[in-house]
Amino acid sequence: MKGEETVKEIIIPDDTLDVVGLYCPMPLALTMERIDEMKIGKILEVLLDDEEAVLDIPKWCKKDGHRFLRLEKEGDFYKLYIKKGGAYEYTSTTNRG
């Protein structure tokens, strides 16, 4: 309806990576490195101003099994939110004992 505001879900990141001022391939490379260090299910906020990375990072998320949550424009930079996926998590069910 007209006049109604859309309420965004609040995303509280577990970690923030600031790559403002860096350009391809560094924002993606550093995002990959940071996500790799995080536990499954944790959320990374990436601050960046590289237009190419704004396109590349969501593609990488899909390819690598992570969930791209949101893109927000904040003044001169963007905020991207990524939830680390667990597509490759291995849990052993072998009973030793």
Number of residues written out for the chain: 97
**Catalytic pick from 24, 29, 40, 55?**
24
Asked if 24 is an active-site residue, the reply is yes
Contact indicator for 28, 56 with CB cutoff of 8 Å: yes
- Are 11 and 43 in contact by the 8 Å Cβ rule? The answer is yes
CB 47: neighbour CB atoms within 10 A? 15
Q: Using alpha carbons only, give the angle 61, 63, 64 rounded to the nearest 5 degrees.
A: 65
Active centre residues (catalytic): 24
